Amino acid sequence: MPFETTTQVRFSHIDAAGIVFYPRYFEMLNSAVEDWCAQALGQDFRTLHLHRGIGVPTVKLDVEFVSPSELGDMLTITLSPREIGRSSCQLHVVFSGDERVRLRANVVLVCMDLHTRRATPWPEEIRARIQEGIAYAI
């Protein structure tokens, strides 16, 4: 079962053509990653950043914008971990609403030590949770 969260298209997301301006999708995506960390991995961003000194920057992104989203649309974001490396993790992400896919993405995150600004191995309990998520998806 992939992780699922929802968001609503707000006025601040919309461009002059009346559809979501694509950089705003990445703000929504980043918030979905926050929800996934807090709810699926048991590690909210505040704890990760402020107490553990860990960040999870995005290092790779493949996105296909399948259909546009408009003001007020309720979007479901599903997030499925696909692969885990020593300090990286690949997620498959789908935004959809009204039974229409809006975008599909593959995202690679890296576990980063905020002090050295270098990749660092996933802490064991986070790795275990991501691996559970991958196992579910198969």
Binding region for a copy of itself (CB under 8 A): 10-12, 14-19, 21-24, 26-27, 30-31, 34, 44-46, 49-50, 55, 57-65, 68, 70-72, 112, 114, 117
Contacts of 12 (CB under 8 A, 6+ apart): 24
Minimum separation from the CB atom of position 111 to a copy of itself (A) = 13
CB of 60 or CB of 86, closer to a copy of itself:
60
Other CB atoms closer than 10 Å to residue 16's CB: what's the count?
A: 6
21 vs 136 by CB, closer to a copy of itself? 21
The answer to whether the beta carbons of residues 54 and 104 sit under 8 Å apart is no
Residue 19 vs 130, nearer CB to a copy of itself: 19
Burial class (CB in 10 A: 0-12, 13-18, 19+), 120: middle
